[in-house]
């Protein structure tokens, strides 16, 4: 039987989260400063226990977590919620194989494992092979809109999911079809403030 423990870190706004900060830049700076400190304290807290932290899995939008992991001599793994195509593009930029901004003479964009990048879509398996050649990663998706998979969330067609507005009604409707205490919610982090109704 797997036992999970939940230990929070601070964003500096422990009473109200993002809504208390009121400004994205101010919130992200506070989250970096307070999050780095409290994540370090959490790692230290478990360092001499039977279950020390040996890897930090962090949202790729919070790269400071990797710095904290390195300071404590443990592994860090970024969790990307982007498509494999976007991860491939990020990897090429990171390794200096692609520079921005793109100019008209650079299109269509040609990257290994991908068809020419224009307005047409690419197949996931080609993308996965291409990104894995230059960036060791374990792909656990797809994390794409519901409309392209099982259509469980009506009208979910955009990749522009909001950090500020959860899909409350659709999620509650789906949750109400499940037996009591049968669903576990796992979050990799968000700036969404959930009400008691949404939990």
Please report the DSSP string for 13-28 in residue order: -TTTHHHHH--HHHHH
Write the DSSP symbol of residue 150: T
Are 45 and 5 within 8 A, CB to CB? no
Instruction: Give pLDDT, residue 153.
Output: 67
pLDDT digits (tens, 9 = 90+) for 116-168: 876 444 444 465 566 667 666 655 554 556 665 556 666 666 654 455 555 56
Position 74 scores a pLDDT of 95
- The answer to whether the beta carbons of residues 65 and 55 sit under 8 Å apart is no
Exposure letters 11-23 (e unless 16+ CB within 10 A, then b): bbbeeebbeebee
Cβ atoms < 10 Å from Cβ of 181: 6
Measure the CA–CA gap between 45 and 39, rounded to whole angstroms: 10
For residues 5 and 35, the answer to whether their CB atoms sit within 8 Å is: no
Contact 183, 157 (CB under 8 A): no
In angstroms, the CA 30 to CA 126 distance is 39
pLDDT at 32: 95
Beta strand 55-59 pairing with 75-79? parallel
56 and 69 in contact (C-beta within 8 Å)?
yes
- Residue 50, burial from CB neighbour count under 10 angstroms (0-12, 13-18, 19+): exposed
pTM above 0.75, yes or no: no
CA–CA gap between residue 113 and residue 110 (Å, rounded): 9
Which strand (E) or helix (H) includes residue 34?
helix 24-46
List of the chain residues with pLDDT < 50: 119-125, 142, 160-161, 198-199
Task: Please give the pLDDT value at position 39.
Answer: 96
């Amino acid at each position: 039987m797997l036992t999970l423990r939940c230990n929070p870190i601070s964003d500096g706004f422990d009473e109200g989260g993002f809504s208390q900060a009121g400004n994205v830049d101010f919130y992200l700076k506070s989250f970096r400063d307070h999050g780095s400190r409290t994540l370090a304290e959490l790692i230290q807290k478990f360092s001499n226990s039977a279950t020390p932290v040996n890897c930090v899995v962090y949202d790729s939008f919070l790269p400071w977590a990797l710095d904290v992991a390195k300071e404590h001599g443990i592994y860090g793994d970024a969790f990307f919620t982007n498509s494999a195509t976007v991860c491939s593009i990020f990897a090429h930029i990171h390794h200096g194989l692609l520079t921005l901004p793109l100019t008209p003479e650079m299109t269509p964009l040609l990257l290994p494992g991908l068809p020419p990048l224009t307005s047409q879509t690419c197949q996931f398996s080609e993308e996965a092979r291409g990104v894995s050649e230059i960036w060791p990663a374990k792909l656990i998706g797809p994390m794409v809109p519901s409309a392209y998979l099982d259509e469980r969330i009506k009208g979910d067609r955009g990749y522009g999911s909001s950090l500020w507005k959860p899909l409350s009604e659709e999620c509650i409707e789906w949750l109400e079809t499940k037996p009591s205490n049968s669903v576990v919610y796992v979050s990799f982090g968000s700036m969404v403030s959930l009400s008691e109704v949404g939990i």
